[in-house]
Amino acid sequence: MQQLAFISALLISPSLSAQRQMQYYRPNDKTGIRTFETTKNDTTTFEGFKVKVGGNFSQDFQSLKHENNASVIMDAGVNTNQLISLTNGFNLAMANLNIDAQLSDGIRMNLTMYLSARHHEETWVKGGYVQFDKLLFLNSNLINKIMESVTIKIGDYDVDYGDQHFCRSDGGNGIYNPFVENYIMDAFATEIGGEVYFHPKSGFIAMVGVTNGALNPTVVESSKIDANTGKKNTYGPAFHGKIGFDKQVNKDFRLRITGSVYTDKSSSGNTLFWGDRTGSHYFYAMENTAATTDGNAWSGRFNPQFSDQVTSFSINPYLNYKGLELLGTYERVQGRKVTEADNRTVSQYGADIIYRFPANNLFWIGARYNKVIGSIPGNTEDIAITRLVGSVGWFVTKNIMMKAEYVNQKYDHYDASNILSAGRFSGFIAEASIGF
């Protein structure tokens, strides 16, 4: 009740408006597509302290089928490798609440809450941060000049590793994603730390960041023994960085390419590829008969299980020519669990092709290729997961989006004892998504 009262008070306050413009900000609607990091374009005049309340909502209709050829493994009279029976129907709706505050000229705060999601049906705070694009309170002309090309972010936020996370679905926020789901190995994690960006008008991009390396931090000393060192596990910081180039070459052509790195040498539970607390939009795909909506929230995704140590590299080229967009992803990741003595390697490949039309980009057609290859604990050989997706969509207004996709995903080289052995799922999903 207290949460509902708080949210209601925010929504009815006469001083709040979804139309308020924030400085150095990515809009929650159609105007936010094709946006990566916020730029240094100072296009919004500071008019004093103000608060913007926004939200996102998504509702899916799913028609999927799945199959496998796994060995029968009985537990209490039940075959744990038997897939649950699927039918056509609506999935649980997801919703986000976004609160942004312009604290001062060039200083903005964000707080995002998951009101309802597959994994957490109750309200949870995703995270929040303060972003500094000006430091006028220091009264230094030199610092003011430096800040014309620098951005500082501090808080509990989505780590800026790779570029794919800028166009992924995040709970109820599907407005930036031309597809219904994210990548198979979904690089997304909220961690506590800071990032410093250098992005002058030349198009050069450089960023360095440090975080605690964990979604769920702790101050309790570990009792686990690291299988690699033979010593008690410790919790160190995680470091990440990005370097690249992003330039609007002319009015029709934009070129961007970035390289990212993330490394954590020892963690209480790193979740770089398993940090989404909302869940997949492919409900119950490849799950067994005991599955539940929240308990098996990441259907169709892959967790490399690099919870103690991880080092990951990502290269992301992006081209935009008129209505055509191409976004590529190559990732190579090494890591292990605390109970493993040696590192394993996983690679991911992805390519998104989107064509938006007419000139105002109201409609689009798209295709995605996504493949993961790598080693998992207990399997005799490297596994492979391949996904092909085709999508169509329509921005009914800048705040309302309709999209539908056909997906075909298959699993290769899993041992017969694994429920994913010779697995495959396919079918259609339609989604309505709102952002403001």
Q: What is the pLDDT of residue 21?
A: 87
Other residues' Cβ atoms within 10 Å of the Cβ of residue 6: 12
What residues does 78 pair with on adjacent strands? 75
Spatial separation of the C-alpha atoms in residues 435 and 279, rounded to whole Å: 19
Q: What is the pLDDT of residue 389?
A: 99
Q: From the centroid of its chain, how far is CA 74?
A: 36
- Domain boundaries along the sequence of the chain: 2-435
Q: What is the pLDDT of residue 122?
A: 86
CATH 3.40.720.10 fits 2-435, yes or no: no
pTM equals: 0.94
- Burial of residue 204 (CB within 10 Å: 0-12, 13-18, 19+) is middle
Q: Report CA-CA distances (Å) from 214 to 133, 139, 206, 237, 278.
A: 26, 36, 23, 9, 17
CA-based diameter of the chain, in Å?
74
Other residues' Cβ atoms within 10 Å of the Cβ of residue 379: 16
Q: What is the pLDDT of residue 17?
A: 54
* Contact indicator for 309, 267 with CB cutoff of 8 Å: yes
Spatial separation of the C-alpha atoms in residues 41 and 25, rounded to whole Å: 10
Q: What is the pLDDT of residue 43?
A: 86
Residues of the chain with pLDDT under 70: 1-19
Q: What is the pLDDT of residue 19?
A: 61
Distance between first and last Cα of the chain: 25
Supply 33's token pair. 């597509």
158-203: per-residue pLDDT in tens? 999 999 999 999 999 999 999 999 999 999 999 999 999 999 999 9
DSSP class of 149: S
